[in-house]
Structure 1
Amino acid sequence: MLDTIAIDKPRAYAPRVTAFTRVFWDALRDGQFRTTRCDACNAHTFPPKPFCPHCWSRDVRWTELFGRGTLYSATTVHAAPAAFRELAPYRVGIVDLEEGLRIAVALWGDGPFALDSPVEIVVLAHADGPLFAARAASSGD
């Protein structure tokens, strides 16, 4: 179960939820980080997809991710797009998850965010729905 951080504001740019991605967003709201995994070639895919981009099989299923990884890259955005301007400056990064996926993610908290440091995914429970971010892993993780 992922830690949840309550945020008493709507998301700056709400994601488009489809019939397929509703599984992901509902699970995230409940503290689970899920994606799809191909039964034909065993590859995980993120973001979740109704087909495997590795072997093109449609034999995919939902699976839970641990939500732990290593920070591969990070930057601070100062010149933000209009939808995110009020959040600037904000930090984003690339995280290598334990399952072998590399994902782009917002970085939450004051860090430290040293490259190759352990991070964990958290749920940002906004007033209008969930998002996810990575923060420096708690001690002992």
Structure 2
Amino acid sequence: MSTLSTVRPGDTVRITTDTSTEPFWRAAKERRLVAPRCAACGTFRMPPTPFCPECRSTDIDWVELSGEAEVYSYSVVHGFPGHPDLLLVAAVVDLAGAPGARLVTNIVGIDPGTVEIGMRVTVDFSPISDGWMLPVFRATEGR
């Protein structure tokens, strides 16, 4: 019997927002995954920033994504300060439909020994403090 990966207890995860990041978090609260795209040159950027790193424009379009992604990198974390029994799969995922945009996240509900680079995953949302939702990912069925 294997132990499945999880996330930190929601009441221990706190976020702060600013004008650059709040649209991302508001969408997540609605169980939608979005990414900022420069309205001038079309470059996606993650994490959200006040200006485009390519052309310096401050014009942003928030694009709703499919929620599909691919594991770019990951690490298995055994225990977390104050939570020694947690088993986490911290990952960086390439977001489908947003070339160049990557998100730092957790892969949840999976035996960590089965996670692979290039594995297809789908977004899910986990409640955290103050009513916000945290985007996490699960293995895509039939992967």
Fold match by TM threshold 0.5: yes
The counterpart of 2:137, out of the listed 129, 134, 137, is 134
Does the CA-based 8 Å contact 2:12-2:128 persist in structure 1? no
1:1-141 → structure 2 map (5 Å cutoff): 10-78=10-78, 80=80, 82=81, 85-86=82-83, 88-98=86-96, 99-100=98-99, 101-111=101-111, 112-126=114-128, 128=130, 129-139=132-142
CA RMSD of aligned residues (A): 2.3
Q: What code does the residue aligned with 1:118 have?
A: R
Letter in 1 for 2:42: N
* 1:3 counterpart residue number: none
Q: Which aligned runs of 4 or more in structure 1 are off by greater than 6 angstroms?
A: none
User: 12-21 vs 50-59, which deviates more?
Assistant: 12-21
Name structure 1 gaps, 5 residues minimum.
Answer: 1-6
CA distance in 1, matches of 2:10, 2:121: 25
TM-score, length-scaled by structure 1: 0.78
Q: Per-residue deviation at 1:15?
A: 1.0
SS of equivalent residue, structure 1 residue 26: helix
Cα separation, 2, equivalents of 1:11 and 1:51: 32
Aligned-partner residue type, residue 95 of structure 1: V
Secondary structure of 1:44's aligned partner: coil
Change (3 A) 1:19 1:43: closer
The 8 Å contact of residues 77 and 87 in structure 2, kept in 1 or not, is answered as: yes
